[in-house]
A and B are shown apart, each in its own frame.
Chain A
Amino acid sequence: MTDLTRLSAASLAAKIASKEVSAVEVTTAHLDRIAAVDPRVHAFLHVDREGALDAARKVDAGEITGPLAGVPIAVKDVVTTKGVPTTAASKILEGWKPPYDATIVERLKKAGMPILGKTNMDEFAMGSSTEYSAYGATNNPWDLGRIPGGSGGGSAAALAAYEAPLAIGTDTGGSIRQPGAVTGTVGAKPTYGGTSRYGLIAFSSSLDTPGPCGRTVEDTALLHSVMAGYDPRDSTSINQPVPDVIKAAQLGKNGDLSGVKLGVVKEFAGDGSEPGVLSAFKDSLEALVKLGAEIVEVSCPNFQYALPAYYLIAPSEASSNLARFDGVRYGLREGDNGSHSLEEVMSLTREGGFGPEVKRRIIIGTYALSSGYYDAYYGQAQKVRTLITRDFQSAFEQVDVLVSPTTPFVAFPFGSRTSDPYQMYLADLFTIPTNLYGGPAISVPCGLSEGLPVGFQIMAPTMADDRMYRVAAALESAVGSFTPPEL
C-alpha cells in the first residue's frame, strides 16, 4: 500500500473524496508518523490525536466536503486553538488553553481539515532557527544537527519529515519563507490583510501575516484559498476577493512564462549570500528564462535599510503587544508568595516567563518608542518603510514580480548564530522588505547547496498573490522537488 504520508495534499484530498481512503486512515497515518519520527525532529509541541481523529470522522461521515476535506494539517503554536494548548513556544503561556479559535483555525475546521497538533517555533515568533523556543529546538530533517529555520521551523520541519502534508505558518520578517527555504518546502506569505490575524498571537501587528506551507506549490495554493479572505474581526483585513492562486499555480505548472517579466533585485543578487545559494539562484533564473520569462535587473536602493527599520518597528510593536503577559488573567505567575507586590510579581513573572531574545526585543522596542528616541528610531524607521514601499511600487511598474534568494545561507548548525543576535537577524535580510511593504512573497525550493536545500523567493504586488504562485509553480516544474534523506 502507498505510504499516505508521502502523498501531496491535492492527491490525498482526491483519494478521500473518491473514498479510496478514509480521512481517518490519512490522519492516523500522519499521527503514526509523528509518533515514529517526532522524538528526533521535535516539530510538534502538542499533538491532538483525539481532536484530529474526531474531525476526520466527520469528513468520513459525509458531514463536511470541500477541496481539502480530510487532509490533516499542523498549526504553528502562535495561532489560538480552542481548548488545545497554545503557548507561542513560551514558558509564559505554558498550559494555556484558549477559549476561542483563531479565524483561520475556524476556516480549517469548516473545511474539514483535521488539526494534528501545534508546531514548534521561536518564542513569540522571534527568531530564525527555533533555537529560541522555550521547549527546545526543532531539528532539520535534512540534517538533524542543523536548524530548520524560524520562527516557523516546526511547521516546515513537519512537512519535510512527512509528519503533515500541510501546515500553517506566520510571517513577520520571513518566518514562513526562510524555514521553507532551509527545509526544501514551499512557504507563502500572503498580502498583509489577505489572511486574518484574529487569533494570531501578535508579535508585530503591522507586519504579522499568517500563511500556508506545503510541499508543493499547488498544495500551498489550495491551503491559501481555504485560509484567506476577509474577516470583520480583523480591522486590517482586506474586503476583496482572494486572488485565484489555485488557477495561477495550475497555469504555472504548464511551464509557460512567456511575457512574464522577472525583476532581479540588484542589491540582493550579490555577495550577501553564500556561493552555493547564489549559484542555485542563478541556475533557477536560467531555467525560468527557458520557460519564456524575461529577466530585468531592478534597483531597490532602500532595501539595504529594511533590516535596520524592521529591527526597530517589530520590537517596538512587540514591546507593547507583549505587555499583556503579566500573570493576571492567564499564563504563568511567579513570586506570588505573599511577600511581593503586584508590580514585583508582574516583573518576576515576565522575567521568568520570557526567554532572552524576547527580553532583548522588548527592551529595544521600549527604547525605540521612548520620548526623546522616538523620532530618531521608530519614527525614522516608519519613514524608511515608506521609501521601501516606493521602491517596490516603482519596481512593479517595470516588472511583474521581483526575485531573490529567500535567505543568504542554507541551514546552519545549531549554536552558530546565537552568541551574536545580529548574525541571526541576517537570515531575514531578503525576506524583510516584503513585510515592510505588505505585499505577498513565496519561497520555493530551487536546488541544493552541499546537500542542503536552497530557496527561491518571488515577491509580488499587494493583492497580486496569484502572480507569485504562477512563477513558483513554473520553477517547481522546471527544477523538480527535493527529498530529504530517510530519517
Chain B
Amino acid sequence: MTYEEILTKYEPVVGLETHVELGTRTKMFCGCKTDFGAEPNTQTCPVCLALPGALPVMNRAAIAATIQIGLALNCDIAEWCRMARKNYFYPDMPKNFQTSQYDEPLCVEGYVDVVVDGKEYRIGIERVHIEEDTGKTLHVGGATGRIHGATESLVDYNRAGIPLVEIVTKPVPGLGSLAPEIAKAYVAELRDIVRALGVSDVRMEQGSMRCDVNTSLNLPGEEWGTRTETKNVNSLRSVERAVRSEIIRQAAILDDGGKIFQETRHFQETTGDTRSGRSKETATDYRYFPEPDLVPIAPAPEWVAELKAALPEKPSVKRARLREDWGISEVDMQSVANAGAVELIEETIAAGSSAAGARKWWMGELARRANELDVDLAAVGATPAQVAALQKLVDAGKLNDKLARQVLEGVVAGEGDPAEVMASRGLEVVNDTGALTKAVDEAIAANPEIAAKIRDGKVAAAGALVGAVMKTTRGQADAKAVRDLLLERLGVS
C-alpha cells in the first residue's frame, strides 16, 4: 500500500511529548551554572551530584518560565501542586530518582492552533510540568560511541539538574494523511512560542528541545489502536518522518493481521524509520510519591497575572504583522512558519537585506539545500547575517543571480562569508571596462559576418556575440552591460 492508500483505510491518532530545557542561569535545584560545553563535572555540587545529605531548593525563575509556557499555551495554572519523585535506577540520574511532577502538574488544559495547507487544527495540551534533566553518558569501547557493544561508560553530571519543562499534548485524532505535517507544524509552533518567551533557546540540534511521538492507527468507527512511543526525535523534519514511518510500519502489521504492541521505539536519523526499544510491559514501576524535600507550589494569582501581562507578542500575531511588512500572502507566510523560517528571515532583514531577498534565499535555495542535507533550515550552514551580506552583494551589482547561488553554496559548505567565498572562488561580476572592451573587440574580430549584420541594423543578431563574450568571461559579466558595450563599439547605439 502506498502512504495515501493507508490513510484511506486507517485513521491515525498522534500525541507528542516535548521536553524543553530552560535557559535559566542556574539549575533547577541548586546554584550550579548551566553553561553549555563546560569541562565535565565542573558545574556540579553536593545537590546535583546527589551527595548524601544534600537537599534541593527550587529555582523561582524555572517555575516562572513554566507558568509562562503554560500561559502561552492557553493552559490553566494550578493553584496548588507538588513535585514528585519518579524512582528508577540509571547512572546518568544521580539520585536514582527524577524530581518531576506526577498527578499534579503546574499547568493543564491548554491548546495550540496550527495551520497546514490553509486549514487550522487545534492541538489540545494536556499538561505542562517541570522536572530536571539527567547527566550525559559517553559510551566507550563499542562502535561509534553507541551503548551497544560498549565496554564501559563515562558520566558527566554538568547537565544533571538543569530545569526541563515537559509539554504533553492530548491524543489528536482526525488528522488523516496530514498527520505528519501537522505534528511537525505543532512542534514548529511550540518552538516559536517558547522562543518568543525567551525562556529557552529551543535548539533541537543541541538537544535543548526534544520530542517523543506517540502514534496509533485505527479503522474508521473503531476504538483507537495501541500506541507506540517513538523517542529520540530531534529535529522538525524527524517529527514528520517519525510519524509517517510509524504509520506505514503499523499499517503493514495490521494489514497482515498482526498486533501492535505498546512499546518504546527509537527514531533512526540515518534511515528515517523507528526501531524497537524497551517494551512497556517490562517497564519499571516508577513508584511516584510526593517529594518530601520540596514544599508545594501555590502560585499567587497576582504573580500569575504579572507573568501573563509580561507575555510577549504571540507568534501568530507577530506573523500577521510580519506578513504585512513583507507584503506576502497568508499561504506564503504559513509555509514560512512551517519551514521554521520566520526568525531566520526576520534576522536576515534586520541584518540589512530586503524582505523579498531574505525570503527568496531561505525559502528557495537554502530550503532546497536543507532538504537535501536532511537537516532543519536553521542548521543548514548559513546564518541570517551571511544571507543578508549575500543579498547586499547582489543589490550592489557585484553578484548576479547565478553567481550568488554559487557563493551561497560555498557559504553552506563552510568556506566562509559571502565576500570571502566570492574572492576565493573568483566569482565577482566583471565590471572592469578595459577587460570587457577587450573581450568585446575579440568577439567582433572573431565574428566579422555577425558584426557586419549588426552594423547593417540587424540588432537582434547581437545575442550571439553577447553569448560569446559571456562565455569568455565565464559568466562573470553583466549581460546587459556587454550588450551596451558591443553596440557602442559597432557604432549602432
Residues of A bordering B, CB below 8 Å: 79-80, 86, 88, 93, 96, 98-100, 102, 197-202, 204-206, 232-236, 316-317, 319-320, 323-326, 328-330, 342-343, 346, 366, 369-371, 374, 378
Contacts and interface: CB of A to CB of B under 8 A. Distances in A.
Contacts of A100: 46, 51, 54
B332 to A, nearest CB: 51
Contacts of B97: 320, 323
B57 A201 contact: no
Nearest to B50: A324
Given A324-B95, A329-B49, A378 B289 contact: yes
B445 interface: no
Nearest to B44: A329
11 contacts: A79-B53, A80-B52, A205-B292, A232-B57, A233-B55, A236-B295, A320-B289, A329-B49, A330-B52, A369-B289, A374-B289
Nearest to A317: B292
Nearest to B29: A235
Interface centre among B96, B155, B292, B293 (most CB of A within 10 A): B292
Secondary structure at the A interface, as helix, strand, loop or mixed, is loop
A410 B51 CA distance: 37
B60 to A, nearest CB: 12
A201 B50 CA distance: 11
B55 to A, nearest CB: 5
Interface stretch (B84-92, B398-406, B456-464, B482-490): B84-92
B62 to A, nearest CB: 14
Task: Give the interface size bracket for B toward A.
Answer: 20 to 34
Interface in B284-323: 285, 287-289, 292-295
B155 A366 contact: no
B56 interface: yes
Nearest to B155: A328
Interface in B37-59: 46, 49-58
List the 10 closest A-B pairs by CB distance, nearest first.
A323-B96, A369-B287, A206-B292, A205-B292, A201-B52, A199-B53, A324-B50, A80-B53, A201-B53, A205-B293
A316 B289 contact: yes
Contacts of B91: 326, 328, 342
Interface string B450-469: 00000000000000000000
Given A198-B54, A329-B51, 16 more contacts: A96-B52, A100-B54, A202-B293, A235-B293, A235-B294, A235-B295, A323-B95, A323-B97, A324-B50, A324-B94, A328-B91, A342-B153, A369-B288, A369-B289, A371-B285, A374-B289
Contacts of B287: 319-320, 366, 369-371, 374
Nearest to A200: B53
B57 A235 contact: yes
B50 A235 contact: no
B101 to A, nearest CB: 16
A323 B87 contact: yes
B288 to A, nearest CB: 8
A205 B97 CA distance: 14
A182 to B, nearest CB: 27
A335 B407 CA distance: 59
A378 B50 CA distance: 24
A88 B53 CA distance: 10
A93 B52 contact: yes
Given A320-B97, A342-B91, A235 B56 contact: yes
A387 B65 CA distance: 37
Nearest to B49: A329
A98 B46 CA distance: 9
Contacts of B57: 232-235
A346 B295 CA distance: 31
A323 B49 contact: no
Contacts of A199: 53-54
A320 B51 contact: no
A348 B153 CA distance: 18
Contacts of A366: 287
A88 to B, nearest CB: 7
A124 to B, nearest CB: 10
Contact of B51 (A79, A233, A330): A330
A234 B295 CA distance: 10
Given A320-B289, A369-B87, A197 B95 contact: no
A276 B310 CA distance: 69
A233 B289 CA distance: 22
Nearest to A92: B52
A206 B294 CA distance: 10
A323 B153 CA distance: 20
Contacts of A343: 89
B46 A99 contact: yes
Contacts of A86: 52-53
A111 B95 CA distance: 33
A169 B287 CA distance: 30
Nearest to A328: B91
Contacts of B96: 323-324, 326
A131 B112 CA distance: 60
A235 B58 contact: yes
Q: Which of A99, A236, A320 is most buried by chain B, counting CB atoms within 10 A of its CB?
A: A320
Interface in B153-198: 153, 155
B100 to A, nearest CB: 13
Nearest to B86: A320
Nearest to B157: A329
Interface in B260-289: 285, 287-289
Contact of B285 (A235, A328, A370): A370
Contact of B55 (A98, A197, A346): A197
Nearest to A87: B52
A236 B82 CA distance: 13
B170 to A, nearest CB: 23
Nearest to A372: B285
A345 to B, nearest CB: 10
Contacts of B292: 204-206, 236, 317
Question: Which of B50, B56, B287, B294: most chain A Cβ within 10 A?
Answer: B287
Contact of A198 (B55, B87, B288, B294): B55
